[in-house]
Amino acid sequence: MRKIIAFLIISLIAVMPVNAEYSKKVYSQTNQVNFQVQDGYVIHSIYANDILFSSNWQIHEFYLDAFGQVYHLTIKARSEGTGGAWKHFYINLTYPNGTTVSKELKTLRLLSLNDYDIKIQYYPVEADTPFDLDVYVYMNPLDAVFESQSASFTLSDYIVFNSVVFASTSPANVEIFYSPYSEWVNTSQSYSIGDIAGIIGDIGQQVRNIIEKVPYAGELLDIFDTLYVITSGLLYYFKLIFIDNGLLTFALFEAFVLAWSAGTSRNIWSFYRKYIRVHRELFEFLLGFVRGIIGIFAEIVNALKPT
């Protein structure tokens, strides 16, 4: 029966729509983009993907026009050290009032691919691979991280734009996400990961802070970051299925269980036993999932405690 529950959940992932209406403009391997939405629409996320690392500084500039208020974001990147194992980034954001804030990121990535993605105001509606190096940039206020930390972001803090100009010294696959303004307002007000995901997101960041204090922990951070991205993805689909679309999930599950129990039962008592057993196993599955995610981080913390 556990295999049946797993099959049902996978089927739900395949057919379930995300509760958001958006469009995406894609530019393949380009150094320049100039995009503007029509009246009534807003741009909320901009990605520059699949940029090859170089030992020379690569410069990516984004001019983001928020209906007359222009934000100028500059990102410099290069690989350093033996074999280009060190990945180095500078992020500078100039606000419309002229104030400039900066952040520097550097990480040792021996196992990463030779390219990276820049994701400005990450929008978690499409799957992202955990096997490349991503730089997530948040603008209100400026923050930049190597992991999405998708369990704690807030869409209502995002700045929306009406036009984007991109200029780069290296080609990138550029993706621009935009939506009707009314739809974006509804999405940003209603979207939250949920208490369980938020708690686990906080735990994940606390664990990462502990690892950063361990000497020579670069490879351990790589492993943890990959684990964190995979875990965040699992949490995203958990929320999508059981929170955002809980009513649809429950209705489909009940229909399936009723049909299966009725078709495999010889009498009413056998029907009730199977019906109750399936619901108990579903509850155990969900509880085990949450315990497993928390347990992963707990084991890492225990392993790092001084003896």
* Percentage of the chain modeled with pLDDT above 90: 38
Domain shared by 74 and 162, yes or no: yes
Domain shared by 55 and 111, yes or no: yes
**Domain-ending residue, one of 148, 166, 191:** 191
When divided into structural domains, the chain yields a total of 2
Contact status, residue 111 vs residue 122, Cβ threshold 8 Å: no
Domain shared by 38 and 178, yes or no: yes
Helices (H), 134-217: 181-190, 195-212
pTM (predicted TM-score): 0.61
Give the H/E segment covering residue 293. helix 268-304
Q: Which tens digit of pLDDT belongs to each residue from 151-187?
A: 455 788 899 999 999 999 999 999 999 999 998 988 7
Question: Phi and psi at residue 215, in whole multiples of 5°?
Answer: -60, 140
Q: Look up the domain containing 231 and give its range.
A: 208-304
Computed over its alpha carbons, how large is the radius of gyration of the chain? Answer: 22
| Mean pLDDT, the chain, integer | 77
> The tokens of 94 are what?
């100039």
Domain shared by 214 and 109, yes or no: no
Q: How many beta carbons lie within 10 A of that of residue 152, not counting itself? A: 17
Q: What does the pLDDT read at residue 288?
A: 75
Q: Which tens digit of pLDDT belongs to each residue from 189-218?
A: 765 444 444 444 444 555 555 545 555 445
Q: What does the pLDDT read at residue 178?
A: 95
Q: Which tens digit of pLDDT belongs to each residue from 89-139?
A: 999 999 999 999 999 999 888 765 689 999 999 876 655 555 568 899 999
**Domain-ending residue, one of 133, 157, 191:** 191
